[in-house]
Amino acid sequence: MKTIIEPFRIKMVEPIRLNTPVVRDQILRNAHYNPFLIPAESVLIDLLTDSGTSAMSSEQWAGMLRGDESYAGAKSWFRFESVMRDITGMSHILPTHQGRASERILFELLGGPGKFVPNNTHFDTTRANVEHSGATAVDLVIDAGRNPKGRHPFKGNMDPSKLQGFIADVGAENIPLCMVTVTNNSGGGQPVSLANLREIRRICDAHGIKLYLDACRFAENAYLIKMREPGQQDRTVKEIVRDMFDLADGATISAKKDGLVNIGGVLLMRDDVLAERANNLLILTEGFVTYGGLAGRDLEAMAQGFQEVLDEDYLHYRIRSVEYLGEGLIKAGVPIIEPPGGHAIYIDAGSFLPHIPAEQFPGQALLVALYRHAGIRAVEIGSVMFGRKDPTTGETIRPPMELVRLAIPRRVYTQSHIDYVIEAMTELATTKEQIRGLKIVEAPQVLRHFTAKFAEV
């Protein structure tokens, strides 16, 4: 069969509302041209993020009712712990309310002034948490990962020679840990190969540096390894996932992605001494070690979700539907990061809108146009999210690409929704010269994309 169907049927529906471009124009003005400030009710198809937006399964909802809400040692905690240990093999499993809470604890322990943390590409909250600790975050993705067109199968890979050069430059004693983000969200949702993880591990070992995964999308990464890495085709995704974690000393995970839940996170580590310190911080701001800022029912939903995400029929459908969107956009002449990665399609807004210079935020301009035209909400991953002033020179630092991410929530939209998105972008492509740039009117110091206000130029 050519058609890869959604491997589930729909038991509950949530209406979405159509409105008109005129109404949406007013909504955009009220939201200061920032998609984070648009009320969700006014969005037809919401591709802002794949985070916390999954539809839960009937088994997850059943788990919600079974949730044991005991303060300490709840049954739901033991179930969650045993599932996570089985999948990852890690000795210490700390529940947190979401990924950035895991990051905050980790970098409070290992970061600090004078320290450096390399990553393939830091996600925004990861970078912000590294920097908040006083440390410096550095991105060392392979050059192919910054070229939107080349079809390298593992554009998320970290560059081993860049890592070696970096260690030589700043000194291994100043690098408490190296992180690898799977899949590489800020670099296009691109996977990292097992071979690359092994190589990075070898380099870290040679210098006594710990290796941590930012493993939010570990199952999608493993499935892409199965599809693309020589010799992995006959292995199960579960085996590949285990290989990935076996190469790491620990991991931060936002369960809002491959955990298939609406809230939750995990911090994993092997080091007993570090884990004790992490548990103390967990108790300080998240909660006791057997619930960590979550309800027992959340732990049940996570335990079930982390198992369901390893279902290869699900992953086949998941990866294929993202690829299908990518193929539709390429056919319409919309430049995207190729090949499509795990959870989203990234439009190369800089090339799509050559008439809008980087200082007028082509990515933000495109997502404003897409919302006005079709009620679709997306997010900018470019100069709005990552552009900032160099603290010493005062010059504006820009990211290598101006991207718009269409992130696909898990198990939420059907193929006809995706067809609608393709149609909307195809129409926009014919009138793209009319899209106008934007300027920032007001913005906070950190993570400005969430609340910045814009005006059209």
Which residues lie near ligand F0G (CB under 6 A)?
Answer: 49, 51, 98-100, 123, 125-126, 181, 185, 214, 216, 254, 256, 265
Query: 192 near 179, Cβ under 8 Å?
Result: no
d(CA 17, CA 31): 18
CB-closest chain residue to ligand F0G: 99
Q: What phi, psi does 304 have (nearest 5°)?
A: -70, -45
Only one residue has tokens 């905690």, namely 77
Provide, rounded to whole angstroms, the least separation between the CB of residue 372 and ligand F0G. 22
Please report how close the Cβ of residue 51 comes to ligand F0G at its closest, in angstroms: 4
Nearest CB to ligand F0G, comparing residues 363 and 437: 363
Closest distance of CB 125 from ligand F0G, Å: 5
Q: Which is nearer to ligand F0G, 344 or 356 (CB)?
A: 344
Please state the closest distance from residue 421 (CB atom) to ligand F0G, in A.
17
- Smaller CB distance to ligand F0G: residue 8 or 450? 450
Q: How far is the CB of 147 from ligand F0G (least distance, A)?
A: 21
Our CB check for ligand F0G shows the closer of 60 and 98 to be 98
Nearer to ligand F0G, 60 or 126 (CB): 126
Identity of the residue, 256 or 410, whose beta carbon is nearer to ligand F0G in the bound complex: 256
* Chain centre to alpha carbon of residue 399: 17
Residues with Cβ within 8 Å of 344's Cβ and at least 6 positions away in sequence, in order, are: 47, 50, 189, 322, 405, 406, 407, 408
Nearest alpha carbon to residue 294 among 251, 264, 253, 268: 264
In the complex, the smallest distance separating the C-beta of residue 121 from ligand F0G, rounded to whole angstroms, is 9
Q: How many CB atoms lie within 10 A of CB 444?
A: 10
From CA 34, how far away is CA 381, in angstroms rounded?
A: 13
251 contacts 192 by C-beta, under 8 angstroms:
no
Name 181's bridge partners. 214
Q: Shortest gap between Cβ of 442 and ligand F0G (angstroms)? A: 22
CA atoms of 104 and 359, how far apart (whole Å): 31
> CB count, 10 Å around CB of 36?
14
* Angle ∠(54,58,59) on CA atoms, nearest 5: 100
Q: What is the smallest separation between the CB atom of 405 and ligand F0G, expressed in angstroms?
A: 8
Minimum CB distance to ligand F0G, residue 270 (Å):
20
Q: What is the DSSP letter of 20?
A: -
Q: Which is nearer to ligand F0G, 34 or 126 (CB)?
A: 126
| 34 vs 185 by CB, closer to ligand F0G | 185
Closer to ligand F0G by Cβ: residue 181 or 232: 181
Of the candidates 53, 49, 51, the one whose C-alpha atom is nearest the C-alpha of residue 14 is 53
d(C-alpha 227, C-alpha 54), whole Å: 24
Are 380 and 449 in contact by the 8 Å Cβ rule? The answer is: yes
